[in-house]
Structure 1
Amino acid sequence: MQVKDIIRDAKGKIDHVGGLKHVYFVACGGSQAAIFCGHYLLNKEATTFGSSIYNSSEFLNATPAMLDKRCIVVLCSLNATAETVEAVKLSREKGAITIAMTGFPDTEMAKNGEYVVVYSNGDEQIYSQSNQSNALRIGFEILHQFENYPKYEAAIDSFTKIDQIVANGKKYIERIANDFAKEYKDDETFYVMASGPMYSTAYTMSYCHLMEMQWKHAIPMHSGEYFHGPFETTDKNLPIILFVSEGSTRQLDERALTFLNKYADRVTVIDAKELGVNIIDDRVVEFFNSVIMIPIERNIVSRMAEIRNHSMDMRRYMWKVEY
């Protein structure tokens, strides 16, 4: 089923029992970061229902009391992370509509979800069909079908522009990636700053790409929260990456940049505007920040991996020991 058909079918069931009251987004690690854009969209734009995002294990162990047949649960795992599969099962037991996003049609996610969305992944990934893009599609369809969202047509048109923006962005970032890799290959600690819809990019670069794949210490930091304690650790030697988003929270990132330009020397700034994101309609562009930026920042870390001769596939613990 296409996403629009899934939501149409789900709406029929939910309307029959009293209407939609909440949407939950549930996943772990990079998958949680990928579906954050869907949560951000609904949390900002929905007027008649709420949205939350959960780590899968926390969802299992601290299950929200309102989870029931009037809820939609969007869950994501490339293969079948055990706790995410269990979260699918729990959601169905509670009567909720489950949409299982997964990388392949035969995973345990696909077998257990009421509805299944198989997304593009791997080296030949089509970014307009990625987990992030599909989380947004689900969000826009929910808004459209449950609330007659006025920006729907602009949003759907935006998906036709994603692949070209990412392709151009990768070319634009080549010099920055080379300079970053050479400059920071021996550093051990990084701050990665962003706000609003771009925060999931900071999360992904920190947790997945720098910490998991390069064994570097990295802190994802909210640009607004930076001034409420963390900025006291800023000095001339600390490597800082700042993602400047386009949209509602851009002023938070610009405020941080003004401070960094005065008190920090080793700052890498990546601005969504410079990647060409503004070919997307201004009314919806902010929701596409991380869809565009995560492939770009991964290229930067991948370049560092090449120079360090430390493969992005190298692990010490993951999939190797009991945890």
Structure 2
Amino acid sequence: MSKAVKEIVSEIKETMNLRGGLKQVYFVACGGSKAAIFPGLYLLQSEAKSFGATTYTSNEFVHAAPKELDEQCIAVICSLKATPETVEAVKTANKAGAITIAMTGSMDTGMAKVGQYVVTYSNGDDQVYSNSNQANALRIGFELLHQIEGWENYQKAMDAYRYIDDIVMEGKKNCLAEAKEWAAKEKNEPVFYVLASGPNYGVAYSMCCCHFMEMQWKHAVCLHTGEYFHGPFETTDQNLSMILIMSEGRTRALDERCLRFLNTYAKNFIVIDFKKINKGRIDTAVAEFFNPVVLIPIERYYVAQMAEIRDHSMDERRYMWKVEY
């Protein structure tokens, strides 16, 4: 039986107090799940004062586990259907003495069987976005901050969850015409650049690696808007297809700098802006952390319009689940 995140963190806190306190939180996953847990990582790296947070891709965590991994660590490990390397990552963390939280699609997966704690999340065509993997990675982070450090914005964060589903559904409705127009225009483009910063870097990763490359077999490049000006911007021209994902929060200045450059030197780009989609509903004190919870389903919606026009299903694969790899 799965427990609520609040209860899980409460039990973990008691255990950690007996072990000398929490030292480090590892967020471990691969592919879309790695993008999904990024919000929790970003939150803790930004706000935690007494413990650290970092991330690993599952198979690297198994083969090159950090020496620091021990009983004063938590490993938040995520996979919808429990890929083999992610199941092994849970076992690796267990063996090192860390407390494991397996985030997965159901209580029947291999991860659910080996995780010390299990958090299941909503998925599929009728996904409840306020209970998605992104939303739950954040919940874990918020509870750790609240219960261990008495984080001052906890209640504002909890209040924000009631807006998520409406914001996503409204965002899809409002962007549909633009998304269809973009998809029709760009359907034959060979390569896409996706730019983002701060909380949305995982969104850009998701759009590139999962939605363009995996689901549409399109080349895509994920770029940080702060790093764009340190080499990659030399490839910018009037034809290159680009998507700028703009954040609401502390790193928005990086995105705005990028937008100014694109307005001057580029032509073939679109902007997906959380601030315009949010419309002030999520409090500014915590809105930054909810960017990806809203924007991953929104950017996927754009690519889904391209899939429809190209008659290339988002579920079609050449290699995944079909060959040995």
Q: Structure 1: how far apart are the matches of 2:82 and 2:206?
A: 19
In the TM superposition, what are the counterparts of 1:1-323 in structure 2 within 5 Å? 1-276=3-278, 278-323=280-325
Name the SS for the 2:170 alignment partner: helix
Deviations 1:98-135 (A, max 9, x none): 00000011100100000000100000000000000000
Query: CA shift at 1:278, angstroms?
Result: 2.2
SS in 1 for 2:313: coil
The residue type equivalent to 2:153 in the other structure is K
TM-score computed with the length of structure 2 as normaliser: 0.99
Tell me the CA shift for residue 179 of structure 1: 1.0
User: In 2, are the aligned partners of 1:80 and 1:107 still within 8 Å (CA)?
Assistant: yes
Deviations 1:217-245 (A, max 9, x none): 00011000000000000000000000010
Q: What is the CA–CA distance in structure 1 between the aligned matches of 2:101 and 2:11, rounded to whole Å?
A: 12
Letter in 2 for 1:203: Y
User: How far did 1:273 drift?
Assistant: 1.4
- Work out the CA distance in 2 between the residues paired with 1:173 and 1:185: 17
**3-state DSSP class of the match of 2:101?**
strand
**Length, aligned pairs only:** 323
Question: TM-score by structure 1 length?
Answer: 0.99
Query: 1:269 is aligned with what amino acid?
Result: V
CA-CA distance at 1:277 after TM superposition: 5.1
Distance in 2 (CA, whole Å) between partners of 1:201 and 1:179 is 21
Distance 2:321 2:7 in 1: 36
State the distance in 2 between where 1:136 and 1:230 align.
Answer: 31
Structure 2 Cα separation of the partners of residues 166 and 74 of structure 1: 25
Q: What is the rounded CA distance, in whole Å, between the counterparts of 1:77 and 1:230 in structure 2?
A: 32
One-letter amino acid of the counterpart of residue 104, structure 2: T
Q: What SS does the corresponding residue of 2:228 show, helix, strand or coil?
A: helix
Taking the aligned partners of 1:137 and 1:278, their CA distance within structure 2 comes to 21
One-letter amino acid of the structure 1 residue matched with residue 12 of structure 2: A
Structure 1 segments unaligned to the other structure (5+ residues):
none
Q: Answer yes or no: is the 8 Å Cα contact 1:20–1:70 preserved in 2.
A: yes
> How well do the aligned residues superpose, as a CA RMSD in angstroms?
0.6
Equivalent pair of 1:181/1:300 in contact (CA under 8 Å): yes
Check conservation: 1:277, 1:285, Cα contact below 8 A.
no
Q: CA deviation at 1:21?
A: 0.5
Which residue identity is paired with 1:303?
A: Q
Determine helix, strand or coil for the equivalent of 2:284: coil
Separation in structure 1 between the aligned mates of residue 119 and residue 176 of structure 2, nearest angstrom: 33
Alpha-carbon displacement from aligned partner over 1:245-279 (angstroms, at most 9, x marks no partner) = 00010000000000000100101111111112521
Listed as ranges, the gaps of 5+ residues in structure 2 are: none
Identity of aligned residues (%): 60
Deviations 1:289-319 (A, max 9, x none): 0100011111110000000000101111111
- Taking the aligned partners of 1:42 and 1:176, their CA distance within structure 2 comes to 35
Whole-angstrom distance in 2 between the partners of 1:165 and 1:241: 21
